[in-house]
Chains A and B, each alone.
Chain A
Amino acid sequence: MSIASTTQQICFLVLSATTVVGSLGVVLLPNIVYSAFLLGGVFLSVAGLYLLLNASFVAAAQILVYVGAVNVLILFAIMLVNKQETLAAIPGLLVRRLLSGAVCAGLFALLLRVAFTTTWALPGPTPVGEEATIRIGEHLFTDYLLPFELASVLLLMAMIGAIVLARRDVFSTDVITGEPADQGLIEKERTPLLIETSAPAPTLLSKP
């Protein structure tokens, strides 16, 4: 076995292990901040898998979009609303966990079956390597033009929705109820940031 293929195999094993363990951590860890950071790690190792498949443009796009934008925004949201809440215990938590675990295991079994019963074409289409960037561009502007544009419309809709939700004070009436909407009514009462004499000092962060 040559040096190149051994390296490739080691890289593949390491990347798949980090992907699998990381995604399990994302789902199972109780601390949401750890989950979010691990999600970034999972995205990075998926980008590494793309690199192994000679798809460097897709790998870079994966890092830029998923790690640089999606994951950073998730972290941002978590850190902006990082409130330590003591949630009330949900009745029958164990049953719920077992049920959701069973659903996940069923889904996994289904995927495994698909993976083993499909006759994969080996070797697949020849990788185009550095040509891929040009090929992707051509496809995006010819036969995949409509889906590409539709995706951008979807993003635009999401953006408008977010603006409407966030800036309801701009509209004089509430969109749904027809009642006058006032920013002060929508916003929850603010927790005092400065130390009060009666209550213990609210900590911004506490050790998870």
Chain B
Amino acid sequence: MLSTGLLGATVAPPGLDLQSSFIDLVQGMGLTAGAARLLWLPLPMVLVLVGAVVGVLVSVWLERKISAAVQQRIGPEYAGALGVLQPLADGLKLVFKEDIIPARADSVLFSLGPVLVVVPVILSWLVVPFGQNLLISNVGVGIFLWIALSSIQPIGLLMSGYSSNNKYSLLGGLRAAAQSISYEIPLALAVLAVVMMSNSLSTVDIVAQQTGAGILSWNIWRQPVGFVIFWICALAECERLPFDLPEAEEELVAGYQTEYSGMKFALFYLGSYINLVLSALLVSVLYLGGWSFPVPVEWITGWLGVSPDAPLVQVVTGSIGIVSTILKAYLLVFFAILLRWTTPRVRIDQLLDLGWKFLLPIALVNLLVTAGLKLAFPVAFGG
């Protein structure tokens, strides 16, 4: 249905524009423009939500398989081929578990905490682009919206830590909040350097600025330090090992998750993996050229002698864009998993030292150097 609408579109703007094609199609069936728009609105949201959940299932499976490989085990094997259905089985198990609220816990805050952790993460998928027009909304403040939304999460963590009425939970919640506050600043500074080069906060513009010469124009070559800072901070924000202090098993049982079971625990679990995939996607958007292919698609169409505006070619380019975004993101997820199973955990003082005394100054210097380079070489650094 979507592709027919696409082929039917006569004047196509650069790249795929499913929205206008869909609205044209529905209007052709005799509905008003407003109703067509209203019909379109939930589609990308549901699609992205499903995509995010499937992404979580894939990363849980990857986590199990890679951790098994690291420890020379086999890992899940019997649920589906190579155990691909194991995450689904995990999810089903959590759905059927009893939902326990401890007797002396604060039941309202206890239930609200996990929701506050998950909702901002899912909302942040609003700005993740899979192509020129393949995102829910090209918000002007794009990446800034993500930074703002991710700052809501610590409130949910504090809430669940406090309301559990358990000292491990409270300590875990406080640690989580302290950690995400301290790593948000270098993260924002690293993003700021990229934003300065692309003159825009919008994720689409940030990717568009990296599409000139294929792999050579990706931001990772111009922002190597920023890339490392962003990746470390993203891992810390996701509470992945080596930075998983809020739920350090040996010290805190499971941190703020200690008292949770059933679907409420599943929300935390889901939230942390959605956040991991989201962070990987944003690294690929900010530093690895987003949806752009290592060799520009325009060059390939030029060599093949086909017009890049032909509907079929547009579908192929769109698919290449989606696939390369996801591939880049999952490469990073792979690294995150490998890091989790091969590195020891840092201490809390080491964590805060790394954030405040090392990453923050380096991020500031990186910003300053980027500003200087932008003034000196406006051609290469987006003047």
**Which residues of A line the B interface, CB within 8 A?**
2-4, 33, 37, 40, 44, 56-57, 60-61, 63-64, 67-69, 71-73, 75-76, 79-80, 129-130, 132-133, 204-208
Q: How far is the CB of A32 from chain B (nearest CB, A)?
A: 12
Chain B residues, CB < 8 A from A206: 104, 165
Chain B residues, CB < 8 A from A205: 162, 165, 170
Chain A residues, CB < 8 A from B184: 68
Chain B residues, CB < 8 A from A40: 155
Specify the chain A residue showing the minimal Cβ separation from B153.
A68
Chain A residues, CB < 8 A from B178: 76
Chain B residues, CB < 8 A from A76: 158, 174, 177-178
CA distance A130 to B149 in the complex (A): 18
Q: List 16 A-B contacts (CB under 8 A).
A: A33-B109, A37-B109, A56-B141, A60-B148, A67-B152, A68-B181, A75-B158, A75-B177, A79-B162, A79-B170, A79-B173, A80-B174, A129-B140, A130-B140, A133-B201, A204-B167
CA distance A204 to B163 in the complex (A): 12
A67 and B201: CB pair below 8 A? Answer: no
B162 and A69: CB pair below 8 A? Answer: no
Specify the chain B residue showing the minimal Cβ separation from A68.
B151
CB 8 Å contact bits of B299-340 with A (1 = contact, 0 = none)? 000000000000000000000000000000000000000000
Chain B residues, CB < 8 A from A44: 152
Partner of A63, one of B152, B154, B162, B177: B152
Which residues B18-53 have CB closer than 8 A to chain A? 34, 38
Chain A residues, CB < 8 A from B174: 76, 79-80
CA distance A23 to B338 in the complex (A): 47
Specify the chain B residue showing the minimal Cβ separation from A132.
B140
Chain A residues, CB < 8 A from B173: 79
- The bracket for how many chain B residues form the interface is 20 to 34
A64 and B148: CB pair below 8 A? Answer: yes
| Interface residue? B135 (CB, 8 A) | no
A2 and B34: CB pair below 8 A? Answer: yes
With A2-B34, A79-B162, A80-B174 given, is the CB distance from A67 to B144 under 8 Å? Answer: no
- 8 A-B pairs with least C-beta separation: A68-B151, A130-B140, A60-B148, A64-B148, A63-B148, A204-B167, A75-B158, A56-B141
| Interface residue? B106 (CB, 8 A) | yes
Specify the chain B residue showing the minimal Cβ separation from A193.
B167
| Interface residue? B145 (CB, 8 A) | yes
A68 and B177: CB pair below 8 A? Answer: no
CA distance A132 to B170 in the complex (A): 40
B162 and A72: CB pair below 8 A? Answer: no
Chain B residues, CB < 8 A from A68: 148, 151-152, 154, 181, 184
CB 8 Å contact bits of B107-135 with A (1 = contact, 0 = none)? 00100000000000000000000000000
With A56-B141, A68-B154 given, is the CB distance from A207 to B159 under 8 Å? Answer: no
| Interface residue? B147 (CB, 8 A) | yes
CA distance A101 to B14 in the complex (A): 61
Chain B residues, CB < 8 A from A4: 34
Other than A57-B140, A68-B151, A75-B155, give 18 A-B pairs with Cβ distance below 8 A.
A33-B109, A37-B109, A40-B155, A56-B140, A61-B148, A64-B148, A68-B154, A69-B151, A72-B154, A72-B177, A75-B158, A76-B177, A76-B178, A79-B158, A130-B140, A132-B140, A204-B170, A207-B106
